[in-house]
Amino acid sequence: MYTWWDSPNIFSEIRRAREEFDRRLHGAGGPSHGVYPAVNVSDDGENYYVRAEVPGLNAESLEVTATHDRLVISGERSMDKREGVSYHRRERDHGTFNRSFQLPQTVDPSKVEAAYDKGILEITVPRAAEAKPRKVKIKA
Amino acid sequence: MTKKEMEVKEKKAIDSTEGEPTKKGIYFTPPVDIFETEEAITLLADVPGAAKEGLDIDLREGVLTITADVEEPEQKGEPVYKEYDVGGFTRRFQIGKEIDQEKITAELESGVLTVHLPKAESLKPRKIPVSVG
């Protein structure tokens, strides 16, 4: 379970740990693996935007669920089954995936929205009304 | 059979010193499936974020080059957490077979590019009827 709001450098820490692990397992320079899909998160004060590159899916094979403290991205990319063809290369990955994120207290899980376009999933996680920055009027 | 779980594979950025076609920005090597039938060669490439307008498919002297530009998404707020870089995709393949250039077609759906490369008529295996006299 990952949290993204604690530290802006959290990914580099995960990556370092991952690379260390890979080095031990496969020797230096091995590919790094993690829970699919990789995500990027941005924040505009109103919402968090969680984006993931998940090509080749559709509304049926991709699922986003939000509970009071968790956001889950799951799905399945099925393998092309083709008869009577000879494969020269098969590099595109397939299988199931399930990645879970802990949501901060400051968001409203009931208003989470997700959109899928050009193979990119974008989840909008709005801040709870009481957590939005509010301009405080200063009395003269 | 239990289903395999997918893993994050780090995107392979193209090293510009290798003399790959480089426009501005980062380019990655897309993972591909290539399969062949008697009629055609088909290539599937994962190019998430690519739009039709940014596609370039070029076949000359037996080298197929696919390039898919990806527009950096409209920046919404400040990045707070980053696990992957955004960039275009490009890759070259040596195609040994004669391809009918005129009939190459491509589709782009949900970030997957499919390129159909029909073989030239003269190279398709042809059944020769044997007449019995």
* Domain ranges within chain A, ordered by starting residue: 1-34, 35-79+94-128
Q: Is A137 on the interface with B (CB under 8 A)?
A: no
Q: What's residue B23's pLDDT?
A: 59
Q: What is the pLDDT of residues A22-77, one digit of tens each?
A: 554 444 433 445 789 999 999 898 999 999 999 999 988 999 999 988 899 999 99
Contact call for B6 and A96, based on CB within 8 A:
yes
Task: Map out the domains of chain B as residue ranges.
Answer: 22-72+85-107
Instruction: Report the alpha-carbon distance of residue B46 to residue B29 in Å, rounded.
Output: 9
Q: Is A96 on the interface with B (CB under 8 A)?
A: yes
Tokens of A102: 């802990």
Contact call for A119 and B49, based on CB within 8 A:
yes
Mean pLDDT of the B32-50 span: 94
DSSP secondary structure letter of residue A127: B
Q: What's residue A31's pLDDT?
A: 40
Q: What is the pLDDT of residues A80-104, one digit of tens each?
A: 778 889 999 999 999 999 998 888 8
Predicted-complex ipTM score: 0.82
Q: What is the dihedral of CA B4, A91, B51, B53, to 10 degrees?
A: -170
B108 versus B20: the higher-pLDDT residue is: B108
The closest of A100, A93, A90 to A76, measured between CA atoms, is A93
- Asked if residues B62 and B98 have their Cβ atoms less than 8 Å apart, the reply is no
Q: Domain A35-79+94-128: which CATH class?
A: mainly beta
**From the CA of A112, how many Å to the nearest CA of chain B?**
16
Q: What's the number of CA atoms in the CB half-sphere (13 Å) around residue B46? A: 22
Mean pLDDT of the B114-120 span: 93
What CATH topology corresponds to B22-72+85-107? Immunoglobulin-like (2.60.40)
